[in-house]
Structure 1
Amino acid sequence: MTVPLELPKAIDLSHHLNSIARNRFASPLKDILNYMAQPGMISLAGGLPHPSLFPFAEANVSVYPANADLKHGVVPSVDEQLTLTIPKTAPVKGALDLNSVQQYGHSLGLPELRAWLHQFTRDVFSPAYSNFEILLHEGNTAAWAKVCRLLLDAGDYILLEEFSFPSSFGPWVPEGCKGVPVKMDAHGLRADDLERVLSEWETTHPGERRPRVLYTIPQGQNPAGLSMPGDRMRDVYEVCRKYDIIIVDDGPYSCLTFREFEITPEPVVPVAETGEQFRKTLATSFLKYDYEGRVIRLDSFSKTLAPGSRLGYFVANPIFIERLLRATEVESQTPSGWSMAIVSQLLHTWGQDGYLQWLSNLRDSYELRRNIMCAALAKRFVALPADKYASAVPGCEGVALYPRGTDPATIKPDQAPVASFVPPAGGMFLWIKFYLSGAPRFRELQTAQHEDPENAFMGEMWKALADNLVLLTPGSYYVVPASSGKATTSQRGAEPAVGHFRFAFSYNDRVEMEEGIRRVEEVASKLWGY
C-alpha cells in the first residue's frame, strides 16, 4: 500500500460500539473543570482539596542518562545521573508543578505528556490516517479491560492467537464471551488461517454472530516471542478490513524487537546502534497499515521504563477515544499524577532522540539475555537447525534440541527431537515445544488411555522441574479458553503428543540462566531416558 501525501481521516466505525459504550455520557463534574481555568473565575463548585495541604513540597528524582549502557547491568555513577525536579508551585505559567499533578485533573491525562506521545507516535509508528488521538491509561491490562467494555457484548466471540497472554482472558470470559484461536507460525498470527476461520464461520457456527474483534500481540508475542513482519501485518489488516474486524494491537514489547539469532557456543553481544539507527530498524505496528482507524493500539511504559508506573496510552480514532474517555471519567478518572509527572519530565528531558537511544540500549540488553538463554540450551542439548535435521517432523521450526551426545550424522529427518523453539524475535520469553512420544512415561499414559495424556505428562514434568528447583510457566496457561467448552488436547483439536513451557529470560543473570537450563536438561534426560 502506498500511503498518500495527504493522509485520510478515520472512517465511522461507531457501529462497533456496544450498548454500554453507546449509552455513556460525559461526567458533569468533569465539565466544570473546563471553566475553572478561565481568568477571573471564582470557583465554588468543585470539591478540590487545597494544594497547600498536600504534604509534598518538592519532588527530586535521579535518573539514568538516555545513553546509559544497559547490557552489563552497571548503574551509572551519581555524576552521570540526571535530576528531575518538580516544584510545589510552577516558577512560570504552564510549567509542571506538584500542585497541579496531585490534583484532580482531566481524564485525558497530562496535556504535556499526551502532546509528546502524539508526536512520538506520528514520527515512529506513522499511522496511515491523520486524525488519530491519544488517551492515557493505567497500563495495558486495565486498558484492554476498557476496550472489552467498549466493543464486546455478552456471548460474543473474540479472535486471538492460539496461545495468548492469560490475563487477556480475564475481562471477557466472565461476560460469557468465547475465544476463537487463530494459528501461528514462526512469523506470528497467520493471515491465511484468520481468513479460513472467518470465511467458514457460517458453516462452523451457524446462526451465531461472527467475531468483530481481534486481540493480538504482534511484536514479542507473549508467550511465543514471535514478531510479525510488515507484509504479514498488512495481510492480517486486509483480512480484518474485509470482514469488518477491529484490531486491538497490544504493544508492550514493540520496542524490544531483536536481530536474527544464530546458534553459537557463546552468546553474541549485540552491536550498539544510535537512536536513529534503531528507529529505522524498529519493528512496525498495525498503525502503519491502518488507513481506516480500525486499530486500537495499547502502548505501555511497563517494559520500557517500569511496570510500577502503571502508565500507558491508547492510540485510536476519535470516536473510540471519546467513548473510552467517558468510561475513564467514571471508572479510573485519570492515571497517577506522580507517574504522569515523572514520565513526562523524563521524556521531555531526554527528548525523542534520547528516548530512542534509551530504547535501543534497552533492546540490546534483552537481546543479550535472549542470546544467553539460547546459548545455554545449545550447550546442554545438541542444538541443530530444524529445517535441516527435523524437516519431516510436523510443526518443528527454528532450533531442534536433541539429547546430549547425539551424532548429527545419525539423525533421520522424521526423528523427533526432545524439544524445539523458534528463537525469540522480541519480548522476554522463549516458547519451547517438547515432543512427548520419546518419553516412556507419556507412552504409559497413552497405553492407559488417559483422558488427556499430554496435559497429564506436562503436569508431572512441571512438578519434577519444581522439585529440581527450576520454575517454568506451563503452556496450558496460554491456551485460549475453548468456545466449545472442550478442554482436553484432543477435544480442542490441538497438536497431539506435544507440550509447551514458557521460559523467561528477562530477570535472571547469566549464571542463574545457565544453571536453570542445566536443571531443565537434567529432568529431561530422566524423563526421556537418555
Structure 2
Amino acid sequence: MAPSVDIRTHAAQPAPAKTHVPLKAAPPTLSPEEALRAKFAHLEHHINSLSRQRAPSPLKDILKFMRIDGMISLAGGLPHPSLFPFDSIHVSTYDSATRMAENPTDIAKVDVCVEKDLAGHSTDLSTALQYGPYNGIQPLMNWMAKFIEHAYHPGYPDWQMIMDGGSTDGWAKVANLLLEDGDNLLVEAHTYPSGQALWIPMGVTAVPIEMDMDGLVPEVLARILDSWDAERLPQRKPKVLYCVPVGQNPTGSTLTAERKQQIYDICVRHDIVIVEDDPYYFMQLPTYRPGGPHALPPPVTDADAFLTSMVPTFLHHDRDGRVIRLETVSKTVAPGFRTGFIVCNPLFQERLARATEVATQAPSGWSQAILCELLHTWGHDGYVRWLAGIRETYAMRRDWICDSIATHFDVDWEDANADGVAVYNKDQNRAALVFRFVPPAAGMFLWLKLDLEAHPAYRRLCAARAPAPEDAWAAAFWRELVVARVLLTPGTYYKPWQGAKAADVPAAPGHAFFRLAFSTTPRDELDEGIRRMAEVFRASWTSV
C-alpha cells in the first residue's frame, strides 16, 4: 500500500529549481529472447500490419511449461501415447554412398527405425506423433542447424530457424510477413508462377529485373532502385526481392558469388529484404562440354571440399539479418516429406512463429521422424555424399538433353552471347536462327529463347496489331507441340504480373520462351521428345 500524503503540506513546498534534472524511469528489463530480437530492430518496419498484430497462442505457449522437470500437467488436452496404434516404423533406405548415376542393379540398403519409446534412436513415435511445438521435434532442428552452420557459414551469429511444410508453405508465410496490398515486389524477369500466384490476390505487383546467362543483373537492379523516386513515384518503392539464385526456375541460371555480393550491397543501400528461395542449391553442375564424353567424376570422399565447391549463399553474405533463406528437402530427399526450414533473423522468426502455431503448426510427425532418423543414420558426411550423388545424376541428365539438342538441331557453339548459343533447324544452311539456350549450370531446367523476327506468322500478327503477338504465337506453337506429343512449359507462365494494364507487354519483344525439364524423363524418351520438338520447329519455320 502506498504511503499517505498531506496534500496541504505537499502543496506548500517550493517548486523545484529549473536546473533540477528529474530521474528517468529505469528501462524495462528485456528477456534474453527480447534482447536478441532488439538487435534487429532496424528491420522491424518491414513487418506488415497483419504480422504486427499477431499474439502468442496461449494454448501453444503453455506447452513449454509441460517440459519442465517435475511438472505434473493437468493442463494440456494431449491424447495418451499408448493410444497411438503404432509400435515402430522401419524404412529401408539407400546407403548414402549410392551413386544413382551409375544405374546400379544392386543397391545397398540401410534400415531406418523409429520406435514408440526412445531406445537408441534420435527420436521416438510418442514424441513425433504427439501435439508439439510449432518448430517440430528438437533432434531434427538441432541436426539441421548444425548442417546449415557448417554448409553455408551464415554471415552473422544470431540467425534462427523455423520449420515449415516445404518452400511453398515457407514462401506463403514470408509473403504474409512482409507484403501488403499496394506493394511492389522485385523479382527476376522470369519468375516462379506458383510463388507469384500467392501474392497477386494480395494486391502486389512485380518489378521484373533483367536477367542474363548468370541470372539477375545487378546493374539493372541498382538503376531501377536509384531512379525510383525520380521516375516511379507515387508507386511504393519495393522493400523485398524474391529470387531463386541457383538453377533458377525456369531459366536454369546461377548467380555467381560476385553478383550475390553486389546484389546484397545494393539491397543494403536501399533497405531491401532478400528472400532466397534455393531448392536447387546442391544441384550446381560442372560445365557442359559439347561432344562429350561425359564421364562420371570420382566419388566424393571429402565432404568439406564438396561444400566449399558450391557458390556461397546470400545467407553467407548477410551481415545484418536482411536475408530470409528458404531451405527444403524436396529436391534432396523427397518432396512428399513436405518439410523445410526458414532461416532468418530472430525478429522475423518470432513473427513467423506466431503465424505458424495457429495455422500449419509443424509438418507431419511421420515426415519428421523418418527424416530425423535418416539424417542421424547417414550422418553429416553421409548426407553430403548423397548430395554429391544427386548432383552427378542431374549433371548426367543435363548432358543428355544438351546432347540431344545438338543431335536433332544445328547448334553453332561458336556463336554465343548472354542469351546462349545459336540454334538452327538442321539441314537448312542456318537460314534463320530459331532459338538460343544456355546449358544449365544448376537445377533441372533448360530455357529456350525463340527468335520470332523472321517468322512470317509472327509478322502477320504484328501487322494485324494483334494484342500480345508474342504470346499469341507461342500459344499456337505450343498447341502444335502437343499435337506432336511433346510437352513443354510455355514461357508465358513465368511472366511477372505487373498489373492488368501491362498484361499484354511482352517479356521480350520479338521473342517467345519455353522451359524444358530434364529431371525425370528416361534417356531414350528424352531424346525422342527432342526429335519430335525438332520436327515441329522445322515444319513451323519452313511452312510459312
**Partners in 1 of 2:468 and 2:181 — Cα distance?**
30
The aligned counterpart of 2:476 is: 460
Superposed displacement of residue 356, structure 1: 0.7
Give yes or no for the alignment of 1:504 onto 2:517: yes
**Partners in 1 of 2:230 and 2:452 — Cα distance?**
34
Give yes or no for the alignment of 1:123 onto 2:150: yes
| TM-score (structure 2 length as normaliser) | 0.89
The aligned counterpart of 1:401 is: 423
Give yes or no for the alignment of 1:71 onto 2:101: yes
Superposed displacement of residue 60, structure 1: 0.4
On the 8 A contact 2:187/2:242 being kept in 1, the answer is yes
Structure-to-structure mapping, 1:70-109, within 5 angstroms: 70-74=100-104, 76-77=106-107, 80-91=108-119, 95-109=122-136
Return the letter of the residue paired with 1:320. F
Give yes or no for the alignment of 1:293 onto 2:315: no
Superposed displacement of residue 194, structure 1: 0.6
Q: Select which of 176, 194, 203 maps to 2:230.
A: 203
The aligned counterpart of 1:3 is: none
Q: 2:201 is paired with a residue of what secondary structure?
A: helix
On the 8 A contact 1:17/1:151 being kept in 2, the answer is yes
Q: Select which of 179, 198, 204 maps to 2:206.
A: 179
Compared CA separation, residues 448 and 484, structure 1 to 2 (3 A): closer
- 1:181-217 per-position Cα deviation (integer Å, ceiling 9, x unaligned): 0011111111111111111212332122210000000
On the 8 A contact 1:127/1:289 being kept in 2, the answer is yes
Return the letter of the residue paired with 2:527. E
The aligned counterpart of 1:4 is: none
Q: Select which of 37, 40, 53 maps to 1:23.
A: 53
User: Does 191-200 or 368-377 show the bigger shift?
Assistant: 191-200
The aligned counterpart of 1:13 is: 43
User: Does 32-41 or 278-287 show the bigger shift?
Assistant: 32-41
Superposed displacement of residue 403, structure 1: 1.7
Larger radius of gyration: 2
Q: Select which of 84, 87, 92 maps to 1:57.
A: 87
Q: Select which of 185, 195, 219 maps to 1:168.
A: 195
**Partners in 2 of 1:302 and 1:520 — Cα distance?**
30
**Partners in 2 of 1:29 and 1:76 — Cα distance?**
50
Superposed displacement of residue 483, structure 1: 3.9
Q: 1:220 is paired with a residue of what secondary structure?
A: coil
On the 8 A contact 2:267/2:273 being kept in 1, the answer is yes
| TM-score (structure 1 length as normaliser) | 0.92
User: Does 272-281 or 309-318 show the bigger shift?
Assistant: 272-281
- 1:229-273 per-position Cα deviation (integer Å, ceiling 9, x unaligned): 100000000000000000000010011111111221665545543
Give yes or no for the alignment of 1:146 onto 2:173: yes
Compared CA separation, residues 272 and 380, structure 1 to 2 (3 A): farther
The aligned counterpart of 1:6 is: none
Q: 1:424 is paired with a residue of what secondary structure?
A: coil
Superposed displacement of residue 27, structure 1: 1.1
**Partners in 2 of 1:67 and 1:202 — Cα distance?**
55
On the 8 A contact 2:190/2:250 being kept in 1, the answer is yes
Structure-to-structure mapping, 1:264-275, within 5 angstroms: 264=291, 269-274=296-301, 275=303
Give yes or no for the alignment of 1:480 onto 2:503: no
Give yes or no for the alignment of 1:334 onto 2:362: yes
User: Does 335-344 or 265-274 show the bigger shift?
Assistant: 265-274
- 1:433-487 per-position Cα deviation (integer Å, ceiling 9, x unaligned): 1111232322232333322221111111100000000011000000000146311
The aligned counterpart of 2:530 is: 517
Q: 2:453 is paired with a residue of what secondary structure?
A: helix
Identity %: 41
On the 8 A contact 1:18/1:152 being kept in 2, the answer is yes
The aligned counterpart of 1:389 is: 415
On the 8 A contact 1:263/1:383 being kept in 2, the answer is no
- 1:272-301 per-position Cα deviation (integer Å, ceiling 9, x unaligned): 433333212112210111011100000100
On the 8 A contact 2:415/2:421 being kept in 1, the answer is no
- 1:303-347 per-position Cα deviation (integer Å, ceiling 9, x unaligned): 000000000101111111111111110011111111111111111
Give yes or no for the alignment of 1:343 onto 2:380: no
